[in-house]
Chain A
């Protein structure tokens, strides 16, 4: 992110990333750290993985914090945000990235598959947005980036739950942009297409090929390509952008 001559002004800022222990979230956390942020991550995966991710943050010279919590837990979200502020003295950036899939066609989708995806993806976005909003309102400053998906814009076969959660994140993002603008808080979303993560690699080659064929650039996104746009939205370069959803999909859905 350096060398382009424009100042991101992220030095000394503090960010909280949900799902920052792996995949897109880890890339976002590392991208912010390389630009000068201390980063806290909230996730519920194996602690070894969370600590390894924190270690990579610290290797850039920044401070890191790994918090274990279910993002859908309302009270835990308030505690986590408070803990970050207590540890680092401030909070400037929130990235809500934690997300899961539980695919099924609707007539076979179970109640549990629906609830789990809505809770982790959408409610988990609400809980952290709400907790951080109060801090940002008081400080009259803040950046929120919520990770959606192009499937939240276009729907997806066998992903009624996932698409609904991501569509909900988009609407939540726009609503919060309207509520928090007067407090100088930018609230934006990033909608990736198919991203080459460890999880994606476990899908069969026909799924990946189908996705590549949808793009116009002829390839899938890397996690860093998604993280770059998130970092942009957390920086002063995008200070007049709010209520916006930026697709990072190689033209998969135009």
Chain B
């Protein structure tokens, strides 16, 4: 369910909702157009190149480079207890770009534009609801993947 994605969700419904299901299993998934093969991250249902609305999923490694970042002290609604937190924008190795929080393995004084990071799928652990996100960690950080959902088409 896409409402699982992010600390606060403003987007409950989307054609690419399975992204959140994949993320819960520990996989970062890009969309691949069934018409022309264009791979997009963030995923999108509608191909900007060939206009097809058919798409599948392909897993990406999560390796990337930090483009820019900021530490937010003045937080919006829903994030007051988290401040300060640091968000970074990352160019992914396979293409596309992602925005996420910096994780515990990269402390304040080590954050640099241009540094290599590993995007790691995460669950918010200490709340009752299922909520998923990802964090930027040191390259080489490992994590556990669940078995892919039985009903899934499978990542190609």
A residues neighboring B (CB under 8 Å): 137-141, 178-179, 182-184
Contacts and interface: CB of A to CB of B under 8 A. Distances in A.
A140 B128 contact: no
Given A137-B125, A140-B145, 10 more contacts: A138-B144, A140-B26, A140-B144, A140-B146, A141-B146, A178-B128, A179-B128, A182-B130, A183-B123, A184-B146
Nearest to A179: B128
Q: How large is the interface on B (under 10, 10 to 19, 20 to 34, 35 or more residues)?
A: under 10
Contact of B123 (A139, A141, A178, A182): A182
A67 B146 CA distance: 31
For the residues of B in contact with A, the DSSP-based class is loop
Contacts, number: 14
B144 A139 contact: yes
7 contacts: A138-B144, A139-B144, A140-B144, A140-B146, A141-B146, A178-B128, A179-B128
Contacts of B144: 138-140
Interface in B123-154: 123, 125, 128, 130, 144-146
A139 B144 CA distance: 6
Contacts of B128: 178-179
Contacts of A138: 144
A178 B145 CA distance: 21
A93 to B, nearest CB: 17
Contacts of A137: 125
Nearest to B146: A140
A139, A178, A182 pick with most chain B CB within 10 angstroms: A182
Shortest Cβ-Cβ A-B pairs, 9 listed: A140-B146, A182-B130, A140-B144, A139-B144, A182-B123, A178-B128, A138-B144, A184-B146, A183-B123
Interface in B12-56: 26
Interface in B104-132: 123, 125, 128, 130
A179 B128 CA distance: 6
A184 B145 CA distance: 12
Contacts of A141: 146
Nearest to B25: A140
A132 B130 CA distance: 21
Nearest to B126: A179
Contacts of A139: 144
Contacts of A179: 128
A184 B128 CA distance: 13
A138 B125 CA distance: 11
Contacts of B26: 140
Interface string B68-100: 000000000000000000000000000000000
B144 to A, nearest CB: 5
A140 B146 CA distance: 6
